[in-house]
Amino acid sequence: MRAGVLSDDRVIEFLNENFINVWVSNVELERTPRKQAYMARRREELSKTFDRTHPLAKAIMEGWKEHSPVDCLVIAPEYDVMGKLPLNDFFDDCFQTGIPEEDAYLKFLEDSLEGKLPGFNDGNSRAPSSGLNVVLNREQAEQEVLDILRTPRYGYQDYTVVEIDATAFEAGGTLTIDIRMGTAKPGGSFDLYDSDTELPTKGYPDDALTSAWDIPSGQIGRIRHHFDEGKVFKLGATGTWFNEKGSVNAFQAKISVEGS
């Protein structure tokens, strides 16, 4: 890193202007059984060691990739992971694409600040639809979205929003959303709204057309809604209220319309 991306003045200036830059040793975070055993011995000798229950430490552990020796993470002040970059994968991708490492790393930082969540869609056999806008018609009546949701404070909503454009189905139809939760701890709740509905930030989603609440980690759920004319919908995805605030999980939504 020091001889590569961190030797670029643009990267250093961007980091210094927008981030508090820190690093934490994998040994201190007890990332592998071998490191856990080592730290257990150290705790017997030292009066103070790294607190793995601290929200920052927990965010790091949520964001790292298994078997990756070094990860670069962008973490918000509220301890939400906004971007993740296993560096071995990063260097391999740059080599294969021919993109200069400095340019690719700067884009990773910029995308993280813009809320694009770089790194959350990596390693999937099927690419998700671009962005969070799904347009369906009779030629393409099904699409998939892969993204993340976050857990709000109890009684609040913190939606990841997917816009679903079904205006091509002028005579209406049935919208079906098959949802699969990722394997991280938090479960998810999903609410479907008309496009002109202002999404709530707290309380129960009383204005939702239909919902699928409290889908557990690794489990599936379904939303079905019949509509009489072509329209645009908004799907709001959020962590269930019974999760730890700020915890993150991925979700996959297969969205389809069967026209009337």
- Which three-class secondary structure string do you get for 92-160? HHHHHHCCCHHHHHHHHHHHHHCCCCCCCCCCCCCCCCCCCEEECCCCCCEEEEEEEEECCCCCECCCE
Residue 227 has pLDDT above 80, yes or no: yes
Q: Tell me what pLDDT residue 1 has.
A: 65
Across 113-141, average pLDDT: 67
Q: Which residues pair with 224 in a beta bridge?
A: 176
Residue 125 has pLDDT above 60, yes or no: no
Across 192-214, average pLDDT: 94
Q: What is the mean pLDDT of the chain?
A: 86
Give the list of residues 6+ apart from residue 206 with CB closer than 8 angstroms, or none.
200
pLDDT band at 129 (very low <50, low <70, confident <90, very high): very low
Give the three-class secondary structure for 55: helix
Residue with the larger pLDDT of the pair 224 and 75: 224
Whole-number Cα distances in Å, 166 to 41, 81, 128, 224: 60, 32, 18, 14
pLDDT band at 63 (very low <50, low <70, confident <90, very high): confident
Please indicate, yes or no, whether the overall pTM of this predicted structure exceeds 0.85: no
